Amino acid sequence: MKKITIMIILSVIVLVTMACSFTINLPTIKTGPDQTFGIKEALPTSSDPINLAIKIGAAKVDFSGGAKGLLDGSIVYNVIDWKPVITRTDTNLEVSQGKVSNVGGINVGEIKNDWTLKFSDKAPINLSIDAGAYQGKMDFTGVPLKSLVIHDGASDNVVSFDSVNPVNMTKLDYTTGASTVTLNGLANANFDSMSFTGGAGTYNLDFAGTLQQDANVKIDSGVSTIKVVIPAGMKAVVNVEGGMKNVSTQGTWTVNGSSYTTEGSGPTLTLDINTNLGTLTLVQE
């Protein structure tokens, strides 16, 4: 026993000595003067929905409606390899950050990558957003979205619909990681079906607005904190699946096993929530 104790002590001393002798060369991202990339894309000649893809790495994002054309705005960046690239055909438009896959390391200066974009309120759009770690504000009020797909990493993002989507949205898909995500006015998104997949994050899904038809929502998450808000007067059914035991409610809910319902009129919102750990709060305002 005495020999084992001495060996453990010696091993610890060796590890500490080795750690003190290591020199770690961390990669850096070289920055330069601010560059501004202007965007002014004309409206499509066809009335068919256009497929619009936005691909971003680490960035600050500010999206809204009100473009004079299909897509207006500017991107301010100071990493030369991040110069945006635009690719367009009759039915597709892609705006991407240059060399996203080559970005990494620790920067000794101040990185700037600010995306300020305005979307058309005239042309129907199938919008997909593929992003990394970013801080975002996406206000899609008035933007005629036929579909919306967002895939991101560690983000801090707020998505809003302050009025009813001018067109019916066939699907709304959001996939995220260890993020803080707030979705406001979801009933106004005017979707038929919605899916939300999260990791270990904090997610606030507010279904304020006016449902135009019955809508189905599928939520899958890991160790997360989820808050679902249902406005007064909306008929909702929430089915909780998986091993989730920590469910709290605010407002008036009828509970039957793992099913939670609210009374209301008009179309029905049905949510299937599959999560094993974390917390779930159901709020009826």
- Candidates 2.160.20, 1.20.5, 3.30.1360, 1.10.3470; correct CATH number of 2-284? 2.160.20
Count of other CB atoms within 10 angstroms of residue 42: 12
Nearest-angstrom CA–CA distance, 159 and 205? 10
Nearest-angstrom CA–CA distance, 50 and 145? 10
CB hemisphere CA count around 28 (13 angstroms): 9
Nearest-angstrom CA–CA distance, 206 and 220? 16
Q: Which residues contact 214 (CB under 8 A, 6 or more apart)?
A: 267, 268, 269, 270
For the chain, give the percent of residues with pLDDT over 70: 86
Predicted TM-score (pTM) of this structure: 0.87
Q: Are 263 and 252 in contact (CB under 8 A)?
A: yes
Confidence band for 2, pLDDT divided at 50, 70 and 90: very low
Domain boundaries, the chain: 2-284
DSSP states along 231-250: -TTEEEEEEEETT---EEEE
The DSSP bridge pattern shows strands 50-55 and 125-130 to be: parallel
**pLDDT digit string (tens) for 194-219?**
999 999 899 999 999 999 999 999 99
pLDDT score, position 33 = 95
Q: Which residues contact 280 (CB under 8 A, 6 or more apart)?
A: 226, 227, 228, 240, 244, 246, 247, 248, 273
Nearest-angstrom CA–CA distance, 233 and 216? 18
**pLDDT digit string (tens) for 88-139?**
999 999 999 987 544 445 554 589 999 999 999 999 999 999 999 999 999 9
